[in-house]
Chain A
Amino acid sequence: MMDDTLLEMKNISKIYDNGVFANDNISFIVKKGEIHALMGENGAGKSTLMKILFGIEDMNEGKIIFDGKDITNYTPQETIGIGVGMVHQHFMLVDSLKVYENVVLGMEPKKGIFTDRKKAKNLVNEISKKYNLNVDADEVIKNLSVGLKQKVELIKVLARDVKLLILDEPTAVLTPQETQELFDQLLLLKENGHTIIFISHKIKEVKQICDRVTVLRRGKLVGTIDIDKASEEDISRFMVGRDVILKVDKSIQNFKEIILSVKDLSVSNKSGIKLVDKVSFDVKRGQILGIAGVEGNGQNELVEAIFGLRDCSGTIEFNMKDISDKKIKDRREKGIAFIPEDRMATGLATKATVWENLVSNIIDSDIIKTNKLLNNNKIKEYSETLIENFNILCSSIDHEVNMLSGGNMQKIVVAREFSSNPDLLIANQPTRGIDVGANEFIWKKLVELRDQDKAIILVSADLNEILELSDSIIVMHNGEVVGSFVDSKKVDENELGMYMLGLKRD
């Protein structure tokens, strides 16, 4: 084995119980002191591979060597013990504890039987100074922004003397400015001799800070290449196997009458904290209104309230009528459809079959009934039409939804919500975590709907999506609308970023 190899994963194969080939004979090497990108569309097998490295998932075949040691059968604890650390996409922090308490959790420095708080704080301050991670050790986690929470995660991992640091889509929740800051810190870490695996599907970012990139596609290894020898287009072709530049053709905007008018809408959580604070806006027929913002700034709560999934105060007028006390069923019947943020938790019943998921919004209607009773033939016909129109890949409508890929699951949600031909479609993160093909398809469908003079509210954490699709944009920060742009062409990524961070407001 070569001297500069830190991690070698050899011929890793993993097949899940539902017959999905998550990893098919994957081998790759991470060298000491490099930033190694692991790329691939969702469902390509990146997370599975990292879970196998950590010992969270068993593999069917393969070998893992770390720093010259065979760690194939190590448990997660043992893996952490030898210096592998991971910052997960969803933070693993205790919200009610302070920064330093989170960092030393499980490895508290002791003074007698008590935690040596001074020593713990010193540890945090030392690390944050060394790596330029400016976090107040005494602050409580729940008061921190997403960007700061990520820094705490970094400190947590660094405090455990990590040799190999794995970052799972770290920029997904960050603004452009925060991303830049993170990259500076990562480069500093690299200078200090740390090795980093950077999981991402954003080519620009990988190009910016990584040394080499390993690309996976559908569970298979496509290859590892040096970054400076490859262009962005090369990597893109590597990832999807064809040239895809995500753009969408849109006709000139042509707004008609107002269809939804929201006034002073506020949402509070159980402890009375305002998540949405007196938000007002209008949506017109023929308009795609993008709601931009760093995740967790009230966008989700706002659209859930409009659809009736949350209690709120203020008025919601749809087609000139107040609908704020209407049930979800009534709102659906009046012509509102909703693509929820989390398809697994809300958008689908994953243990139910494909057809059961496709008909849930029309179960009381006569479309699938004969003499008031469910008619299997009609259900079959109806479902198969949707499957065909929306290119859903599944071999039978009786299959459980959890056997499908993320993109096909999302297409089921989209197909169902489009099927009622809604006057207003609320799309909350409609393309999160799905492959490029499905992404393109859903974008096209959204624009089609807009061109039929329907209204669309689009919430997305992906600025590219917001800028590409929206006719108009509002930006949310801390539950408030801090900026609104009637014409989305008059604003760019950087300016939106300033609004999203709360650095600028109208």
Chain B
Amino acid sequence: MKKIKDFIKDIETLRTLVALSVSFLIVFILIIIISDSPTKALFDFIIGPFTSIRRFGNVIEGSLPLIFTGLSVILLQRTGHYNLAMEGAFFIGAVVATAAALIFKGPPLIILLVSMLSAMLIGAIITGIPAVLKVKTDANVLVTSLMLNHICLYVGMFIIITYFQDPKMNSNYSYMFPDGVNIPTIFGVTRINYGMIIALITVFIVWFLLNKTSFGYKLTIVGKNQNFAKYSGINVNRLIIESALIGGAIAGLGGAVDLFGMYNRFQYSGLTNYGWDGILIAIVARHKPHFVPFAALFLSYLRTGANILSRTSDIPSEMISIIQAIVIVLISAQAILSKYRQKLVVEKTLSGEVI
């Protein structure tokens, strides 16, 4: 027989699934109401992403930046603070990677490496700022990190427009990267690239860090009870800063990988929103790094489906924002199934099982 504890864990999983199914159901109902040909729309939305290699490729390549920002959020929130600077870190990472790629001369592989390292460095600095301010002045991390995102956007755009803008282009695009300065694709037809390998290695590193090292243990403890951590002799302030630095480095790296994998010049015109998506990914993955790729694939699948939907039917792609919002609300809603859970726990207790 199962212990109550395991059984509560099962309910947590069940709750995630229920939240996802309910949000799907709501979307189905919306599609049926809005669309003139609901069956086709539903088909496009659900099966669409699997109907061609290119579309399926879209699902996988779309998950790539989400993996990085999801991991970044897991680290940033590990110590119990809501550091949201990963959005800015991702963007400024791409800006600095562009600058490095266009300034430095040398073999493409070296330029690529230097660019990525610079992106990681600047990402770490950006998310590190709110953490340092928190530790030194007790400034609210949420506020400072949100402000910082705007600074990243405008400083980043300023750098691109002032120093690297290609005058031949109509938009605020940078010059082309030198030949060979890109992350090559793995399968010719799609844009799935070796960035995926970097992402999976990062997943492993974060998992390893959190589960196999005392550093990871300490982060968990700080997040669960800061007083207890301090009393145990753990340097709480240092860990708050260190976890922010690592989280930011991952977000910055994500910006660089996205840039070199998908484009041949800088062409973002605003914040990418991948940082915000990272919050959703972290929630759906329940802050476990090894679930992040699956959560990222799932969100990317929804997006691809919504995209196909908007091109082939009368449903706008904004539909996806609705799904996202519903998923977040439902998964964060602790009360869902709580009656059911209480009922089951009562039954188990009455039947005499120990905890």
Contacts and interface: CB of A to CB of B under 8 A. Distances in A.
Interface string A301-326: 00000010100000000000000000
Which bracket fits the contact residues of A? 35 or more
A293 interface: no
Given A360-B232, A403-B5, A19 B355 contact: yes
Interface stretch (A37-45, A350-358, A470-478, A484-492): A350-358
Given A309-B230, A328-B233, A350-B225, A374 B213 contact: yes
B171 interface: no
Contacts of B231: 307, 309, 328, 338, 340, 346-347
Contacts of B37: none
A347 B232 CA distance: 8
Interface stretch (B108-116, B131-139, B340-348): B340-348
Interface stretch (B49-57, B215-223, B295-303): B215-223
B235 interface: yes
Contact of B218 (A351, A363, A403): A363
Given A19-B349, A347-B228, A348-B228, A361 B233 contact: yes
B4 interface: yes
B345 A327 contact: no
A17 B348 CA distance: 11
A113 interface: no
Nearest to A363: B214
B178 to A, nearest CB: 41
Contacts of B3: 395-396
Q: Of residues A345, A351, A374, A403, which shows the largest number of chain B Cβ atoms within 10 Å of its Cβ?
A: A374
Q: Is the interface of A mostly helix, strand, loop or mixed?
A: loop
A247 interface: no
A12 to B, nearest CB: 14
B228 A19 contact: no
Contacts of B355: 18-20, 395, 399, 403
A226 B345 CA distance: 37
Contacts of B341: 17
A360 B341 CA distance: 32
Given A17-B341, A309-B231, A348 B214 contact: no
Contacts, number: 97
Contacts of B1: none
A187 interface: no
Interface in B179-238: 211-214, 217-218, 220-221, 224-225, 227-235
Contacts of A348: 225, 228
Q: Of residues A21, A309, A360, which shows the largest number of chain B Cβ atoms within 10 Å of its Cβ?
A: A360
A401 to B, nearest CB: 10
Contacts of A345: 225, 227
B33 interface: no
Given A309-B231, A329-B235, A349 B345 contact: no
A328 B230 CA distance: 8
Given A19-B4, A403-B5, A352 B220 contact: yes
A225 to B, nearest CB: 29
Given A17-B345, A21-B349, A360-B234, A349 B214 contact: no
Which bracket fits the contact residues of B? 20 to 34
A361 B211 CA distance: 18
A277 B160 CA distance: 62
A2 interface: no
B20 to A, nearest CB: 23
B169 interface: no
Q: Of residues B212, B341, B346, B353, which shows the largest number of chain A Cβ atoms within 10 Å of its Cβ?
A: B346
Contacts of A78: none
Interface in A16-44: 17-21
Contacts of B233: 327-329, 331-332, 361
Contact of A351 (B224, B234, B235, B354): B224
Interface string A377-409: 000000000000000000110111001000000
A159 interface: no
A399 to B, nearest CB: 6
B221 A60 contact: no
B225 A364 contact: no
B212 A373 contact: yes
Interface of B: 3-5, 8, 211-214, 217-218, 220-221, 224-225, 227-235, 338, 341-342, 345-346, 348-349, 353-355
Please provide the 6 A-B residue pairs with the shortest distance between their CB atoms, ordered closest to farther: A329-B233, A349-B225, A360-B232, A349-B224, A363-B214, A328-B233
Given A338-B231, A360-B228, A360-B232, 15 more contacts: A15-B349, A18-B345, A346-B228, A346-B231, A347-B228, A347-B231, A348-B225, A352-B220, A352-B225, A356-B217, A356-B220, A363-B217, A373-B213, A399-B5, A400-B5
